[in-house]
Amino acid sequence: MLPQFNMASYHFNSIEKNWQKFWAEHQTFKADNNSELPKYYVLDMFPYPSGAGLHVGHPLGYIASDIVSRYKRHKGFNVLHPMGYDSFGLPAEQYAIQTGQHPAITTEENIKRYRQQLDNIGFSFDWSREVRTTDAQYYHWTQWIFIQLFNAWYNKVSDKAEPISDLIKKFETEGNSNVNAVCDETIVFSANDWDAFSEKEQQAILLNYRLAYLSDTMVNWCPELGTVLANDEVKDGVSERGGYPVERKLMSQWSLRIAAYAERLLQGLDTLDWTESIKEAQRNWIGKSEGTSLTFSLASPLNPLHGRGEPSDVWMVEEEELWYATSDKSKYRLIKDFALENRRNATKEEVIIWEALRNNQIENVKFRRQHIIDKFIADFVSFEYKLVIEIDGLIHSLEDNIISDEARTLVLNELGFNVIRFTNEEVNSNLDGVLGKIKSYISSAVPSTPSPAEKGMGDEAKKRHGESIEVFTTRPDTIFGVSFLTLAPEHELVAQITTDACKVAVENYITISKNRSERDRMADVKTISGEFTGAYAVHPFTKALIPIWIGDYVLAGYGTGAVMAVPAHDSRDYAFAKHFNLPIPQVVEGGDINVESYDAKEGLLINSDFLNGLEVKAAIKKAIEKIETEGLGKGKTNYRLRNAIFGRQRYWGEPIPVYYKEGVPYVVEEKDLPIALPEVDKFLPTETGEPPLARAQNWNYNGHAFETTTMPGWAGSSWYYLRYMDPNNANEMVSAAAVNYWQNIDLYVGGSEHAVGHLLYARFWCKFLKDIGTVPFEEPFKKLVNQGMIQGTICTTYIYTYQNGLNERLKCAISSDLHSQIKAGNSEGVFKLMTEQIGSSFTDCQYVNEVNVPFEFFAAAAFEDFEGLKKWLNSTGNSVTHLIVGTDSKFQVKMETGKMSKRWHNVVNPDDICTQYGADTLRMYEMFLGPLQDAKPWSTQGIEGVHRFLKKAWRLFHNTANEDFVLSNEPATKAELKTLHKTIKKATEDIESFSFNTSVSAFMVCVNELQDLKCNKREILEPFLILLSPYAPHICEELWHLCGHTESIEKAKWPVFNPEFLVENEFNYPISFNGKVRFNLNFALDMEPAAVEQAVLADEQTIKYLEGKTPKKIIVVKGRIVNVVI
RNA sequence: GCCCAGAUGGUGGAAUCGGUAGACACGCAGGACUUAAAAUCCUGUGGCUUCACGGCUGUGCGGGUUCAAGUCCCGCUCUGGGUACCA
């Protein structure tokens, strides 16, 4: 650098270092927890300190939030603007596995680098409040929250989380029948039962209620990473980090019952000042759908629960228990060659009686219909009272013939049953008499104790035993359009209902769909597959037989894992029906179902019995009513949101504060927190496949084994905003005083990639913490602004190879620096960079071994020297024999914009920009690039302009001749004041609306105008410095002190806009003819439209444009425009 | 497929209420200062047309509403993001 003869020129490097030091020493940005000032909390999403360091994309949001923070301080707010590190995470651990270095060391180094980079940009963070999720003093409270979740259950009645101790009290006094909780399926028990349970049994039951619970769940298992991943950590069937394949696996895992909060998480969105797209993303993720459940009874004979592979007539069961368990209210018609129509349609009289008997309506007695007793099927039976009711004397024998009533009665009597018979006529004409007879029998008889098999089962159990199939639908109006049912291949009923004839095909299908990985299934959405089970269900209204299929388009995990297929009005059902040639009955008018399904929720119902002629909306309502009154199902709301899996089989995370006693999980006592992450010899799973923590020596809780999984990455980041309020509190997570003062976050700035993960989990924890009284608010982030990604340039080469007859495209990125190495012919540099790169970018490519000499390959590619490459490949005898390159036999080197990352070698370090142009230029340039929310590719085009602007601003304060600092105390002119106040207005409005790019423009305009006015007056320039200081704090602080101030500019009051200076008394009206502006005329602003009209008409230019015609109309908009209509 | 956002000069973008489209900057061209360079300053810069004054045209495409449309309405096309057999 040249020696600096003139001390007054703009030496940004030294200026910036000086003021950064000054701010640090004076703790200029320290926020006070005890202030009379109104508070303002501005938060950035804290970074994960990766080894790559910050790139120019990271500071974008930080700069914006820093501008707001500094602005709010000028406006007289007590501003909390902290920063910290989300320092647990996979990359540090992966690095540790490779190098053996402890992740804490790498993390510490990375944090140091991040801090240095952040300091270089001159952020106004209050560093005294820094938090790190990896600090034991921090994760102490992450573990504490886990304990609170473990000790809580969700009460649906109060709609909040409550202490588990209250629940235990309830169990002790009244059992669980009156408890309305969000929980897993569990048995119904009384207070006495609870008392009789062992400790182990009690704990197992409680685990079904706890908000943090252990259960066997299907998880996303990533073998490469050796851990499970949350749904939002999996993209397109591969891990978001690293891009490794992910498979489904059943594992015992810690989970959090976030689904309990689904409705509150959904409702809360309406109260937030977030972009619609992020709210929409969360709504989609929560996935509320309202509809109804609906039960279809099974029509075909059930295979017995046991005895698969027995002779096919095994269903003529001799074992009462067996068929008992599988019958109940289904229309269980054990008829071989019995007339089909009899099977389909219950007689009218049977329906009448059943309507009166079902659901314990009479004397609270449970009746079952169409039940096998011995060799017979009874119309209705109560086991409790050993009572058989027959209508019209018909009992169907299994021998396919009818024997006399007497004979049947005899047999039934022998079995201990009493038989009452009614004729159809009696039912029709004297139902009351019929029911009275039944009642009087019951009241005189003595109930027997049912056998275990006869004992009523809970609804869940019934479903399991397959008397009926429950589906969930949002379109109950289309019930008459159902032409088949589809079950997920994993549906528990499949094995039971599949007929012998279909067994082989169904089992094959299940095997195939099981083995298809998630990834394959996704890649292959278009392929329609399924299999007929051979079984039929009965349509609840028409009583028609409906074939039951299985298909993998139905998901086991959603709804009931079964759908009623309405092909005419659901595109997936339509595709399935077309493929398997199933009927497609239309029930809603509209569309052309020969071409495609008509999914729209509008039109009139047709072919739908009691729904005919109704609009879809009305039909849905009526259908639900009918379904509910008939007891076939009820209105129901489903959420897509799944409970969050909380355990990771990794080392570098918070230990879960749980220990096991006789296999039962208990949380540690709060006084024993934090449970520190133990030392291990290796950061790998044990030989037996246990997580790395299992390697820890002498690591136990009073002799009991600790849980060995750790918390996921999102645990620490779900509450960090609270710790900033009170970062050094050793006794509490956050003091009530601190959280009551700071409240929730006024402005949260971060990337939209966290739309569902972090933002949803943090909201969930906040709601929970509110339920337990730790925080006073329901939503943590009032306003959210998403900064767009700053993208880098990715050079990509496409290579096409023939392997095993497949034409596959390999993709490898060439970074810009690699590209320049190639261009420069520096083969050594090329090889080095390529070696680094091939490893990462080829991991997900199965033909990697075929391209075994990639360096020259790529070098040639960049030169598009196809012939040369081919020659070279032949000379090496390379296995890539058939090479198709591009579409026109050329290598393609394509420039794309994409994520800035180490992987693509396109990271731009902000430090370099700071050295070259200064932090103030970097800050202003990043703001000037465009709207904060937009994604934009990084380019330094234009950075000169911003730098030039700062130099111009500097010169306003300096004599151009000798570069001395000069400031005039003369009063400002009207023109100068107008420029200043225009800028005050614009700068203020733009910060409030986050339009930082336009306010940079406004500063440029201001400086340009002041330069033209040769203004160097204190009255103008000092307020201007305050306006500019949030954007370019260093240069403004320097000039502020040169102006003679001794205190930081940060303490200065924001200038007040005075509209008087902008008042104009004249306006240069554009005069347009038929909307086309031709010339301008100056008129006083207070001139009335009529007068303006006269003046315009009198103008000679107007006369010229009128061409002798009379104007039809003249529109004068005061202070805007004049339009003459000819 | 569905949901959301967007499309304006050679480039990034502005026009926040329906009222002069292209602010501000980059780039480019020309010029001044300088032995030269850097730095700085001045002029021009959507397209077509004209010596010029000017004229025509112009905000992804096709319609419409209006005195007036980048802006509002209807129908498309394309791009980016989210999501994906969610019944």
Please state which of the ranges A316-320, A484-488, A532-536, A590-594 shows the lowest mean pLDDT: A316-320
Helix, strand or coil, per DSSP, at residue A413: helix
Average pLDDT of span A814-819: 48
Residue with CA nearest B54 C1'?
Answer: A1078
Cα–Cα distance, A990 to A997 (Å, whole number)? 9
Predicted local confidence at residue A1068, as pLDDT: 85
The whole-number Å distance from A524's CA to B16's C1' is 46
**Residue that is written with structure tokens 């059902």 in the block:** A573
Q: Can you give A642-705 as a three-state secondary structure string?
A: CCEECCECCCCCCECCEEEECCEEEECCHHHCCCCCCCCCCCCCCCCCCCHHHHCCCCEECCEE
Tally of CA atoms within 13 A in the half-sphere of A421 that contains its CB? 10
CB atoms within 10 A of CB A646: 24
Q: What is the DSSP string of A839-902?
A: HHHTTT-TTGGGS--HHHHHHHHHHT-HHHHHHHHHHHT-S--SEE-TTTTS-EEEEEEE---G
- Alpha helices by DSSP H, listed for A524-629, are 571-580, 616-629
Residue A346 has pLDDT above 70, yes or no: no
The whole-number Å distance from A1118's CA to B17's C1' is 14
Q: Is the CB of A634 under 7 A from strand B?
A: no
The whole-number Å distance from A473's CA to B83's C1' is 21
Q: In the beta sheet, which residues pair with residue A740?
A: none
Cα–Cα distance, A166 to A146 (Å, whole number)? 18
Cα–Cα distance, A393 to A404 (Å, whole number)? 9
Cα–Cα distance, A461 to A3 (Å, whole number)? 88
Cα–Cα distance, A764 to A152 (Å, whole number)? 14
Q: What is the DSSP string of A776-801?
A: S-S-SBSBEEEEPPEEEEEEEEEEEE
Tokens of A295: 């039960």
Average pLDDT of span A897-919: 77
Cα–Cα distance, A382 to A1082 (Å, whole number)? 99
According to DSSP, the β-strands at A39-44 and A747-751 are parallel
Average pLDDT of span A126-138: 96
- The whole-angstrom distance between residue A6's C-alpha and the CA centroid of its chain comes to 58
According to DSSP, the β-strands at A545-550 and A484-487 are parallel
Predicted local confidence at residue A762, as pLDDT: 93
Tokens of A1039: 């000039």
Q: Phi first, then psi: what are they for A204, rounded to 5°?
A: -65, -40
Tokens of A397: 């024998």
Cα–Cα distance, A762 to A766 (Å, whole number)? 6
Q: Is the ipTM of this complex over 0.85?
A: yes
Judged on CB neighbours under 10 Å (0-12, 13-18, 19+), A54 is buried
Cα–Cα distance, A288 to A185 (Å, whole number)? 21
Q: Is the CB of A997 under 7 A from strand B?
A: yes
Residue A921 has pLDDT above 80, yes or no: yes
Of A457, A418, A459, which is closest to residue A440 (Cα–Cα)? A418
Contact A83, A130 (CB under 8 A): yes
Burial A933-968 (b: 16+ CB within 10 A, else e): eeebebeeeebeebbebbeebbbbbbeeeebeeebe
According to DSSP, the β-strands at A418-422 and A247-256 are unpaired
Q: Which of residues 1060-1079 of A touch strand B (CB under 7 A)?
A: 1068, 1070, 1072, 1074-1078
According to DSSP, the β-strands at A806-814 and A936-937 are unpaired
Query: Who wins on pLDDT, A313 or A495?
Result: A495
Residue A731 has pLDDT above 90, yes or no: yes
The whole-number Å distance from A930's CA to B64's C1' is 33
A270 Cβ contact list (under 8 Å, min separation 6): none
Predicted local confidence at residue A980, as pLDDT: 94
Predicted local confidence at residue A723, as pLDDT: 97
Of A208, A181, A178, which is closest to residue A190 (Cα–Cα)? A178
The whole-number Å distance from A332's CA to B7's C1' is 63
Kindly report the bases of strand B lying within 7 A of a protein C-beta atom: 1, 3-5, 11-16, 19-21, 23-27, 39-42, 55-56, 67-69, 80-87
The whole-number Å distance from A1080's CA to B53's C1' is 17
Cα–Cα distance, A99 to A41 (Å, whole number)? 41
**Nucleotide nearest residue A472, measured CA to C1':** B87
Residue A815 has pLDDT above 60, yes or no: no
Burial A439-462 (b: 16+ CB within 10 A, else e): eebbeeeeeeeeeeebeeeeeeeb
The whole-number Å distance from A823's CA to B51's C1' is 49
| Measured CA distances, A683 to A95, A108, A290, A680 (Å) | 10, 18, 47, 7
Tokens of A574: 């339509």
Residue A313 has pLDDT above 90, yes or no: no
Residue A440 has pLDDT above 90, yes or no: no
Q: Of A170-174, A229-233, A250-254, A433-437, give the range with the top mean pLDDT.
A: A170-174
Q: In the beta sheet, which residues pair with residue A298?
A: A537
Judged on CB neighbours under 10 Å (0-12, 13-18, 19+), A121 is buried
Tokens of A657: 């504060």
Query: Who wins on pLDDT, A122 or A536?
Result: A122
The whole-number Å distance from A283's CA to B82's C1' is 11
The helix (H) or strand (E) run that includes residue A501 is helix A500-515
Rounded to the nearest integer, the mean pLDDT of chain A is 78
Helix, strand or coil, per DSSP, at residue A514: helix
Residue with CA nearest B23 C1'?
Answer: A1001
Average pLDDT of span A384-401: 62
Residue A414 has pLDDT above 50, yes or no: yes
Confidence of residue A322 (pLDDT cuts 50, 70, 90): very low
State pLDDT tens for residues A69-98.
999 999 999 999 999 999 998 888 888 888
Query: Who wins on pLDDT, A851 or A649?
Result: A649
Cα-only R_g, chain A: 38
The whole-number Å distance from A800's CA to B61's C1' is 36
Tokens of A360: 């314990």
Query: Who wins on pLDDT, A391 or A533?
Result: A533
Q: Which of residues 208-267 of A touch strand B (CB under 7 A)?
A: 231-232, 235
The helix (H) or strand (E) run that includes residue A924 is helix A919-928
Q: In the beta sheet, which residues pair with residue A803?
A: A806
Q: Which of residues 922-981 of A touch strand B (CB under 7 A)?
A: 928-931, 934-936, 941-942, 944-946, 948-949, 951-952
| Measured CA distances, A231 to A222, A556, A641, A644, A691 (Å) | 12, 16, 10, 8, 21
Of A272, A61, A122, A279, which is closest to residue A932 (Cα–Cα)? A61
Average pLDDT of span A988-996: 91
**Nucleotide nearest residue A552, measured CA to C1':** B85
Q: Is the CB of A1090 under 7 A from strand B?
A: no
Cα–Cα distance, A741 to A729 (Å, whole number)? 16
Q: Is the CB of A597 under 7 A from strand B?
A: no
Q: Which of residues 703-742 of A touch strand B (CB under 7 A)?
A: none
Average pLDDT of span A1001-1026: 92
Query: Who wins on pLDDT, A935 or A738?
Result: A738
Residue A835 has pLDDT above 50, yes or no: no
Q: In the beta sheet, which residues pair with residue A793?
A: A897
Q: Is the CB of A993 under 7 A from strand B?
A: yes
State pLDDT tens for residues A1044-1086.
999 999 999 999 999 989 888 888 888 888 888 888 888 888 8
The whole-number Å distance from A965's CA to B68's C1' is 52
Predicted local confidence at residue A385, as pLDDT: 79
The whole-number Å distance from A789's CA to B70's C1' is 26
Q: Is the CB of A385 under 7 A from strand B?
A: no
Predicted local confidence at residue A614, as pLDDT: 87
Predicted local confidence at residue A715, as pLDDT: 93
The whole-number Å distance from A947's CA to B24's C1' is 14
Predicted local confidence at residue A841, as pLDDT: 33
The whole-number Å distance from A944's CA to B31's C1' is 22
Query: Who wins on pLDDT, A693 or A797?
Result: A693
Q: Which of residues 858-887 of A touch strand B (CB under 7 A)?
A: none
Cα–Cα distance, A325 to A321 (Å, whole number)? 6
Average pLDDT of span A729-736: 94
Contact A635, A628 (CB under 8 A): yes
Confidence of residue A538 (pLDDT cuts 50, 70, 90): confident
Predicted local confidence at residue A236, as pLDDT: 62
Angle between helix A164-174 and A199-207 (nearest 10):
120
The whole-number Å distance from A1006's CA to B70's C1' is 27
The helix (H) or strand (E) run that includes residue A982 is helix A974-992
Q: Is the CB of A473 under 7 A from strand B?
A: yes
Residue A615 has pLDDT above 70, yes or no: yes
State pLDDT tens for residues A249-302.
777 889 999 999 999 999 888 888 888 778 888 888 888 888 888 888 887 454
Cα–Cα distance, A362 to A445 (Å, whole number)? 14
Contact A271, A604 (CB under 8 A): no
CB atoms within 10 A of CB A199: 10
